[in-house]
Amino acid sequence: MTFFDFCNRHGGVIMAGKTKVHDKQVENSRACIVEALLRLMESIPYTKISVSDIIEKAGVSRQTFYRHYEGKDDVIRKILENCFAPFDLRIRIPIASAEDAHKDHVYAMSQLLEKLARHGKTLKIMLNSEAEPLVYQYGKKWETNLINLSKGKMTPQEKIFFRYMILFSSSGVTQVICDWIKNDMPIPVEKLIEWLIETHRALFIDPGKDIPKDKT
């Protein structure tokens, strides 16, 4: 083995080790910032929290903060990205009918609810600390993605119906989910999903059917 080969091989190992250490430092810094913001939001309205408050609580420098985030709203957006995604939409493309749209929308809604339930504590802090508009803003992205799937084999009228169905149901579902989380998820996620599915079908697929009532 030549000296060049030795340096190349072992230098690569050293660089790989340095990369792992750097990645760990980045991960730790981001975790400290997120934890600091969430702790502050438990006692201070989000609108009154400054970046200075966050870096002081996190024990990091201002330079470190802005290396990872553009501002405090960006921290919230990154938290929401972790809460909302990735989850398996399993949406069929193209969507052939309103019935298919209903099935796929329901499946996506079920997947989303199950995932959000795992982040209930974090989301409750945000919803109770004047960061609610940012949560709704992120939910609009999911709504837009679903609407964009109406480019399949639908008539113009079916596409309009599909768009209105998504806008109407997504807005209602978002309100229900936020209320459910803010009130400590008073019913099991499975029961909420069942109720939402039956309500969605009664409104859009079987309009002559009554809105489902509590079976208990």
110: CB partners within 8 A, 6+ apart: 193, 197
Q: Of 4-18, 57-71, 96-110, 120-134, which range is least confident?
A: 4-18
Q: What is the mean pLDDT of residues 41-45?
A: 93
Q: What is the pLDDT of residue 212?
A: 47
Q: Using N-to-C axis directions, what is the helix angle for 3-41 and 51-58, rounded to 10°?
A: 120
Looking at the structure, give the CATH architecture of the domain made up of residues 3-69: Orthogonal Bundle (1.10)
Q: Are 69 and 75 in contact (CB under 8 A)?
A: yes
Q: What is the mean pLDDT of residues 188-210?
A: 74
For residue 94, say if its preceding peptide bond is cis, omega within 30 degrees of 0. yes
Q: Of 160-164, 177-181, 183-187, 206-210, which range is least confident?
A: 206-210
Q: What is the pLDDT of residue 168?
A: 80
Q: What is the mean pLDDT of residues 48-66?
A: 95
Q: Which amino acid is at 170?
A: S
The Cα 183–Cα 163 span in angstroms is 30
Residue 57 has pLDDT above 50, yes or no: yes
